[in-house]
Structure 1
Amino acid sequence: MDTADFRELLSHWASTVAIIATRYGERIYATTITSFTPVAADPPTVVVSLGPNAQVLPFLFDGSRFAVSLLDETQGRVAEVCADPFPVGPSPFPDEGDPIVRDALAWVACSVHSIVEVPGSSRLIVGAVEEGAVGGGRPLLWHRRTSTRLADD
Protein backbone atom coordinates (compact mmCIF):
# COMPACT_ATOMS: atom_id res chain seq x y z
CA MET A 1 0.00 0.00 0.00
CA ASP A 2 1.42 3.40 -0.79
CA THR A 3 1.97 6.02 1.91
CA ALA A 4 -0.73 8.48 0.75
CA ASP A 5 -3.42 5.78 0.66
CA PHE A 6 -2.35 4.47 4.06
CA ARG A 7 -2.49 7.96 5.60
CA GLU A 8 -5.95 8.48 4.12
CA LEU A 9 -7.10 5.17 5.57
CA LEU A 10 -5.74 6.04 9.02
CA SER A 11 -7.38 9.48 8.96
CA HIS A 12 -10.66 7.64 9.54
CA TRP A 13 -9.38 6.25 12.86
CA ALA A 14 -10.41 8.51 15.73
CA SER A 15 -7.93 8.84 18.59
CA THR A 16 -7.54 10.92 21.71
CA VAL A 17 -5.16 13.85 21.36
CA ALA A 18 -2.41 13.64 23.97
CA ILE A 19 0.84 15.27 25.01
CA ILE A 20 4.00 13.31 25.78
CA ALA A 21 6.43 15.33 27.88
CA THR A 22 9.64 14.87 29.80
CA ARG A 23 11.56 17.09 32.16
CA TYR A 24 15.25 17.29 31.23
CA GLY A 25 17.25 19.53 33.52
CA GLU A 26 15.35 22.78 33.96
CA ARG A 27 13.33 22.42 30.77
CA ILE A 28 10.27 20.46 29.65
CA TYR A 29 10.20 18.97 26.16
CA ALA A 30 6.77 18.04 24.82
CA THR A 31 5.12 16.78 21.65
CA THR A 32 1.47 16.47 20.67
CA ILE A 33 0.59 12.89 19.76
CA THR A 34 -2.34 10.81 18.59
CA SER A 35 -0.50 7.50 18.57
CA PHE A 36 -0.81 6.35 22.18
CA THR A 37 -1.82 2.79 23.05
CA PRO A 38 -2.19 0.89 26.29
CA VAL A 39 -0.71 -2.57 25.64
CA ALA A 40 -0.89 -4.40 28.97
CA ALA A 41 -2.63 -4.08 32.32
CA ASP A 42 -0.28 -6.36 34.26
CA PRO A 43 2.20 -4.82 34.46
CA PRO A 44 0.68 -1.53 33.24
CA THR A 45 2.41 -0.72 29.94
CA VAL A 46 1.81 1.83 27.18
CA VAL A 47 3.35 2.56 23.78
CA VAL A 48 3.81 5.92 22.09
CA SER A 49 4.88 6.25 18.46
CA LEU A 50 7.11 9.24 17.69
CA GLY A 51 8.39 10.54 14.39
CA PRO A 52 12.05 11.47 13.95
CA ASN A 53 11.44 15.20 14.50
CA ALA A 54 9.43 14.92 17.73
CA GLN A 55 10.73 17.54 20.19
CA VAL A 56 10.70 15.06 23.05
CA LEU A 57 12.49 12.17 21.30
CA PRO A 58 16.15 13.13 21.99
CA PHE A 59 15.38 13.31 25.72
CA LEU A 60 13.87 9.84 26.05
CA PHE A 61 16.21 6.94 26.82
CA ASP A 62 16.08 3.70 28.82
CA GLY A 63 14.92 4.49 32.34
CA SER A 64 14.05 8.15 31.74
CA ARG A 65 10.71 9.39 33.03
CA PHE A 66 7.91 10.84 30.90
CA ALA A 67 4.23 11.64 31.19
CA VAL A 68 1.36 11.28 28.74
CA SER A 69 -1.60 13.60 29.28
CA LEU A 70 -4.83 12.77 27.46
CA LEU A 71 -6.38 16.11 26.59
CA ASP A 72 -9.86 17.32 27.47
CA GLU A 73 -12.04 18.67 24.65
CA THR A 74 -11.37 22.22 25.90
CA GLN A 75 -7.58 21.88 25.49
CA GLY A 76 -7.22 22.30 21.72
CA ARG A 77 -4.93 25.29 22.21
CA VAL A 78 -2.58 23.20 24.38
CA ALA A 79 -2.40 20.61 21.58
CA GLU A 80 -1.53 23.35 19.06
CA VAL A 81 1.17 24.88 21.28
CA CYS A 82 2.88 21.53 21.96
CA ALA A 83 2.74 20.63 18.25
CA ASP A 84 4.83 23.73 17.49
CA PRO A 85 8.63 23.23 17.59
CA PHE A 86 8.95 26.69 19.17
CA PRO A 87 5.99 26.89 21.58
CA VAL A 88 4.89 30.33 22.73
CA GLY A 89 2.66 31.12 25.67
CA PRO A 90 2.23 30.05 29.26
CA SER A 91 3.35 26.55 30.12
CA PRO A 92 0.55 24.04 30.70
CA PHE A 93 2.87 22.07 33.00
CA PRO A 94 3.62 22.38 36.73
CA ASP A 95 6.90 23.97 37.81
CA GLU A 96 8.04 20.74 39.49
CA GLY A 97 7.37 17.04 39.25
CA ASP A 98 6.09 15.09 36.30
CA PRO A 99 5.17 17.24 33.28
CA ILE A 100 1.43 16.57 33.36
CA VAL A 101 -0.87 18.98 31.52
CA ARG A 102 -3.05 20.83 34.04
CA ASP A 103 -6.72 19.77 33.89
CA ALA A 104 -6.00 16.84 31.54
CA LEU A 105 -8.72 14.26 30.99
CA ALA A 106 -6.36 11.59 32.36
CA TRP A 107 -2.61 11.02 32.63
CA VAL A 108 0.07 8.41 33.18
CA ALA A 109 3.62 8.89 34.42
CA CYS A 110 6.03 6.28 33.06
CA SER A 111 9.64 5.26 32.79
CA VAL A 112 11.03 4.21 29.44
CA HIS A 113 11.17 0.43 29.35
CA SER A 114 12.52 0.26 25.81
CA ILE A 115 12.72 2.10 22.51
CA VAL A 116 11.99 0.16 19.35
CA GLU A 117 13.11 1.35 15.93
CA VAL A 118 10.42 1.04 13.29
CA PRO A 119 11.17 0.68 9.57
CA GLY A 120 11.61 4.20 8.26
CA SER A 121 12.52 6.58 11.04
CA SER A 122 9.81 6.35 13.72
CA ARG A 123 10.38 5.04 17.24
CA LEU A 124 8.05 3.18 19.57
CA ILE A 125 8.53 4.28 23.17
CA VAL A 126 7.46 1.47 25.50
CA GLY A 127 6.59 2.90 28.90
CA ALA A 128 6.23 1.17 32.24
CA VAL A 129 3.36 3.00 33.93
CA GLU A 130 4.28 4.04 37.46
CA GLU A 131 1.25 6.14 38.33
CA GLY A 132 -1.75 7.83 36.77
CA ALA A 133 -5.08 9.48 37.42
CA VAL A 134 -8.35 10.48 35.80
CA GLY A 135 -9.24 14.17 35.78
CA GLY A 136 -12.67 14.32 34.21
CA GLY A 137 -14.37 15.84 31.22
CA ARG A 138 -14.56 14.57 27.65
CA PRO A 139 -11.72 13.73 25.24
CA LEU A 140 -10.30 15.93 22.52
CA LEU A 141 -10.30 13.68 19.45
CA TRP A 142 -8.35 13.64 16.19
CA HIS A 143 -10.40 12.40 13.25
CA ARG A 144 -10.06 13.01 9.52
CA ARG A 145 -7.10 15.34 10.08
CA THR A 146 -8.86 17.71 12.44
CA SER A 147 -9.58 17.96 16.15
CA THR A 148 -13.14 17.27 17.16
CA ARG A 149 -15.18 16.15 20.14
CA LEU A 150 -17.69 13.47 20.97
CA ALA A 151 -21.25 14.17 19.92
CA ASP A 152 -23.60 15.18 22.71
CA ASP A 153 -25.64 12.30 24.11
Structure 2
Amino acid sequence: MLRPGDLGAEPWAAAGLRLLHLEADFAGPGGTAILSRLIEIVVIQAARRSVRVPGGRPAGFLAALTDPALSRALAAIHGAPERDWRVVDLARLAALSRAGFARRFAETVGATPIDYLTDWRLAKARALLSDTALSMDDIAERCGYRSVPSFTRRFKARFGKGPGAFRRSRPGA
Protein backbone atom coordinates (compact mmCIF):
# COMPACT_ATOMS: atom_id res chain seq x y z
CA MET A 1 0.00 0.00 0.00
CA LEU A 2 1.35 3.39 -0.94
CA ARG A 3 1.34 5.83 1.97
CA PRO A 4 1.92 9.60 1.98
CA GLY A 5 5.27 9.02 3.72
CA ASP A 6 6.44 6.94 0.75
CA LEU A 7 6.05 10.01 -1.45
CA GLY A 8 7.92 12.46 0.74
CA ALA A 9 7.07 15.98 1.82
CA GLU A 10 6.41 17.40 -1.63
CA PRO A 11 3.05 19.24 -1.81
CA TRP A 12 1.94 17.22 -4.86
CA ALA A 13 2.07 14.01 -2.76
CA ALA A 14 -0.60 15.09 -0.30
CA ALA A 15 -2.67 16.70 -3.05
CA GLY A 16 -2.47 13.65 -5.32
CA LEU A 17 -3.47 11.25 -2.59
CA ARG A 18 -6.26 13.56 -1.44
CA LEU A 19 -7.64 13.71 -5.00
CA LEU A 20 -7.35 9.93 -5.29
CA HIS A 21 -9.27 9.47 -2.05
CA LEU A 22 -11.99 11.97 -3.03
CA GLU A 23 -12.45 10.44 -6.48
CA ALA A 24 -12.61 6.89 -5.06
CA ASP A 25 -15.50 7.97 -2.83
CA PHE A 26 -17.26 10.09 -5.48
CA ALA A 27 -18.81 7.42 -7.75
CA GLY A 28 -19.47 9.81 -10.63
CA PRO A 29 -19.42 9.18 -14.39
CA GLY A 30 -15.93 8.50 -15.68
CA GLY A 31 -14.68 7.69 -12.20
CA THR A 32 -12.77 4.59 -13.24
CA ALA A 33 -10.88 6.50 -15.93
CA ILE A 34 -10.07 9.36 -13.57
CA LEU A 35 -8.91 6.96 -10.85
CA SER A 36 -6.65 5.18 -13.34
CA ARG A 37 -5.01 8.46 -14.36
CA LEU A 38 -4.61 9.63 -10.77
CA ILE A 39 -3.00 6.33 -9.80
CA GLU A 40 -0.62 6.64 -12.74
CA ILE A 41 0.36 10.15 -11.62
CA VAL A 42 0.97 9.09 -8.02
CA VAL A 43 3.04 6.08 -9.12
CA ILE A 44 5.11 8.15 -11.56
CA GLN A 45 5.74 10.80 -8.90
CA ALA A 46 6.77 8.09 -6.42
CA ALA A 47 9.12 6.58 -8.99
CA ARG A 48 10.68 10.00 -9.51
CA ARG A 49 11.84 9.89 -5.93
CA SER A 50 13.94 6.94 -7.10
CA VAL A 51 13.05 4.72 -4.14
CA ARG A 52 15.51 6.55 -1.89
CA VAL A 53 14.96 8.94 0.93
CA PRO A 54 17.40 11.78 1.72
CA GLY A 55 20.63 10.20 2.88
CA GLY A 56 20.47 7.45 0.25
CA ARG A 57 18.68 4.79 2.32
CA PRO A 58 16.08 2.77 0.36
CA ALA A 59 12.52 3.08 1.68
CA GLY A 60 8.93 2.22 0.82
CA PHE A 61 7.13 -0.26 -1.38
CA LEU A 62 9.23 0.57 -4.44
CA ALA A 63 12.42 -0.12 -2.48
CA ALA A 64 10.98 -3.47 -1.37
CA LEU A 65 10.54 -4.39 -5.03
CA THR A 66 14.26 -3.84 -5.59
CA ASP A 67 15.14 -6.17 -2.70
CA PRO A 68 15.22 -9.74 -4.09
CA ALA A 69 14.13 -11.33 -0.80
CA LEU A 70 11.27 -8.92 -0.14
CA SER A 71 10.14 -8.91 -3.76
CA ARG A 72 9.66 -12.71 -3.61
CA ALA A 73 7.40 -12.28 -0.58
CA LEU A 74 5.49 -9.41 -2.20
CA ALA A 75 4.99 -11.44 -5.38
CA ALA A 76 3.60 -14.30 -3.31
CA ILE A 77 1.20 -12.02 -1.44
CA HIS A 78 0.02 -10.36 -4.64
CA GLY A 79 -0.22 -13.66 -6.50
CA ALA A 80 -2.21 -15.53 -3.85
CA PRO A 81 -3.84 -13.14 -1.36
CA GLU A 82 -6.40 -15.82 -0.55
CA ARG A 83 -3.73 -18.05 0.95
CA ASP A 84 -3.48 -18.26 4.73
CA TRP A 85 -0.07 -16.56 4.84
CA ARG A 86 1.96 -16.57 8.01
CA VAL A 87 5.11 -14.52 8.55
CA VAL A 88 7.14 -17.73 8.77
CA ASP A 89 5.87 -18.79 5.30
CA LEU A 90 6.84 -15.46 3.77
CA ALA A 91 10.21 -15.52 5.53
CA ARG A 92 10.88 -18.96 4.07
CA LEU A 93 10.14 -17.64 0.56
CA ALA A 94 12.48 -14.73 1.22
CA ALA A 95 15.15 -17.13 2.52
CA LEU A 96 15.40 -15.15 5.76
CA SER A 97 14.78 -15.92 9.40
CA ARG A 98 11.28 -15.08 10.62
CA ALA A 99 12.53 -12.22 12.82
CA GLY A 100 14.95 -10.91 10.19
CA PHE A 101 12.28 -10.96 7.50
CA ALA A 102 9.66 -9.25 9.69
CA ARG A 103 12.10 -6.50 10.70
CA ARG A 104 13.39 -5.92 7.15
CA PHE A 105 9.88 -5.92 5.69
CA ALA A 106 8.54 -3.43 8.26
CA GLU A 107 11.57 -1.14 7.97
CA THR A 108 11.43 -1.11 4.17
CA VAL A 109 7.70 -1.18 3.44
CA GLY A 110 6.51 0.75 6.48
CA ALA A 111 4.02 -1.92 7.55
CA THR A 112 4.24 -5.39 9.02
CA PRO A 113 3.87 -8.26 6.55
CA ILE A 114 0.41 -9.13 7.90
CA ASP A 115 -0.77 -5.50 7.81
CA TYR A 116 0.45 -5.27 4.22
CA LEU A 117 -1.37 -8.52 3.37
CA THR A 118 -4.58 -7.13 4.89
CA ASP A 119 -4.19 -3.89 2.92
CA TRP A 120 -3.68 -5.83 -0.31
CA ARG A 121 -6.67 -8.11 0.34
CA LEU A 122 -8.94 -5.14 1.00
CA ALA A 123 -7.68 -3.29 -2.09
CA LYS A 124 -8.38 -6.39 -4.16
CA ALA A 125 -11.84 -6.73 -2.60
CA ARG A 126 -12.61 -3.13 -3.41
CA ALA A 127 -11.60 -3.67 -7.04
CA LEU A 128 -13.67 -6.87 -7.29
CA LEU A 129 -16.69 -5.10 -5.82
CA SER A 130 -16.31 -2.29 -8.35
CA ASP A 131 -15.47 -4.31 -11.43
CA THR A 132 -17.29 -7.65 -11.12
CA ALA A 133 -20.65 -9.12 -10.24
CA LEU A 134 -19.09 -11.81 -8.05
CA SER A 135 -21.03 -12.78 -4.95
CA MET A 136 -19.89 -11.58 -1.55
CA ASP A 137 -18.94 -15.19 -0.72
CA ASP A 138 -16.70 -15.41 -3.79
CA ILE A 139 -15.04 -12.07 -3.10
CA ALA A 140 -14.43 -12.92 0.55
CA GLU A 141 -12.88 -16.26 -0.46
CA ARG A 142 -10.70 -14.75 -3.22
CA CYS A 143 -9.42 -12.18 -0.74
CA GLY A 144 -8.52 -14.64 2.00
CA TYR A 145 -11.49 -14.33 4.32
CA ARG A 146 -13.06 -17.52 5.65
CA SER A 147 -16.46 -15.91 6.18
CA VAL A 148 -18.48 -13.03 4.81
CA PRO A 149 -19.02 -11.53 8.30
CA SER A 150 -15.28 -11.33 9.02
CA PHE A 151 -14.69 -9.85 5.54
CA THR A 152 -17.50 -7.34 6.08
CA ARG A 153 -16.11 -6.23 9.46
CA ARG A 154 -12.61 -5.64 8.04
CA PHE A 155 -13.93 -3.87 4.94
CA LYS A 156 -16.19 -1.58 6.94
CA ALA A 157 -13.45 -0.77 9.45
CA ARG A 158 -11.14 0.27 6.59
CA PHE A 159 -13.54 2.06 4.24
CA GLY A 160 -16.31 3.27 6.53
CA LYS A 161 -19.06 1.29 4.83
CA GLY A 162 -19.75 -2.39 4.29
CA PRO A 163 -18.94 -4.10 1.00
CA GLY A 164 -22.61 -4.25 -0.03
CA ALA A 165 -23.09 -0.53 0.56
CA PHE A 166 -19.82 0.17 -1.23
CA ARG A 167 -20.94 -1.84 -4.28
CA ARG A 168 -24.34 -0.15 -4.37
CA SER A 169 -22.69 3.28 -4.27
CA ARG A 170 -20.61 2.63 -7.42
CA PRO A 171 -21.70 3.94 -10.83
CA GLY A 172 -24.00 1.56 -12.67
CA ALA A 173 -24.85 -0.41 -9.54
TM-score normalised to the size of structure 1?
0.24
Query: Which structure: greater helix fraction?
Result: 2
Query: Which structure: greater strand fraction?
Result: 1
Q: Which has the higher contact order (CA 8 A, sep 6+)?
A: 1
TM-score normalised to the size of structure 2?
0.22
